[in-house]
Amino acid sequence: MTDGLKIWPLTGVALLVLLAAVASAAAAADPDALWKIVHDRCVPDQEQHGSPAPCAQVDLSGGEDKGYIVLKDLVGDTQYLLIPTAKITGIESPAILDFDATNYFAAAWRARSFVNEGAGRELPRDWVSLAINSESGRSQNQLHIHIDCVRADVRDAIRQHASEIGSGWVPFPVPLVGHRYSAIAVVGDTLDSVNPFLLLASGNAKARVDMGHETLVVVGVTNIGGEPGFIFLADHADPGAGDNASGEELQDHACALLHG
């Protein structure tokens, strides 16, 4: 383990939950609450004391401008957040499309190990999802990716229709949680070789000119042409129609799949 990477021991879970409760209350009134946790607490604690508290993980191995933290969210036993250590407001930030930008989604997929810990078992890859909300669908002005279980009905819809999704963006065949998403299939066990932000911006004309109104969700799948992979799902906000492009709606923070 490098000096830039520290994972909070399981004995600290109770403390993390307590601190997350405080953070959640602050976030309700302060859109910079997550940034303050990252910048004022987790990074200084890692650098000065070798401890990520109150975060679960701090990775500064690429430098603070390229690093990220993993924080337990108050909601649910299995939900975690992946947050950059650089000040990046959200999906609308040009920084996420830089040629040398950190692949935050790849890091978030690796961080599903914390979801497994919360679940008490290793979850099948098609139970796990990553989601970032649009500007109108979020409460915080610091980029954060939700890592948690996918809704059971969304998992079932993807299983049923995954074979209809190819390597280019197409409308997903059925609505998901009442909203129409576009989708693309990506082959690979990890996201290390593909950055979902770049794939969305380069392959979706509406997203390319207005990333701030996009939401992006990544769901693991077990079989794309015989290989493990992912289905990426994107939605463009239409507040007038009641769609704030909050892809987090496809997640289940109670993880009903564990109890089905």
Q: Give the domain ranges of the chain.
A: 5-259
Handedness of CA 140, 141, 146, 152 (dihedral sign): positive
Q: Which residues pair with 71 in a beta bridge?
A: 81
The residue whose two tokens read 């009641």 is 242
Taking the C-alpha atoms of residue 260 and residue 179, their distance in angstroms, rounded to an integer, is: 25
Give yes or no for residue 211 having a pLDDT over 50.
yes
State the Cα angle at 126 between 242 and 128, rounded to 5°.
65
Taking the C-alpha atoms of residue 193 and residue 166, their distance in angstroms, rounded to an integer, is: 18
For residue 84, whether the previous peptide bond is cis, meaning omega lies within 30 degrees of 0, is: no
Q: What is the CA radius of gyration of the chain?
A: 17
What is the amino acid identity at position 90?
Answer: G
Taking the C-alpha atoms of residue 28 and residue 31, their distance in angstroms, rounded to an integer, is: 7
Query: Which pLDDT belongs to residue 13?
Result: 45
Query: Which pLDDT belongs to residue 206?
Result: 85
Q: Are 46 and 64 in contact (CB under 8 A)?
A: no
Give yes or no for residue 145 having a pLDDT over 90.
yes
pLDDT tens sequence across 4-48: 444 444 344 444 444 444 444 444 579 999 999 999 999 999 999
Please give the CATH topology (third level) of the domain spanning 5-259. Answer: HIT family, subunit A (3.30.428)
Query: Which pLDDT belongs to residue 210?
Result: 94
Which residues, other chains included, contact 255 with Cβ-Cβ below 8 Å and sequence gap of 6+? 76, 77, 78, 119, 127, 148, 149
Whole-prediction pTM value?
Answer: 0.89
What mean pLDDT is predicted for residues 58-87?
97
Query: Which pLDDT belongs to residue 182?
Result: 97
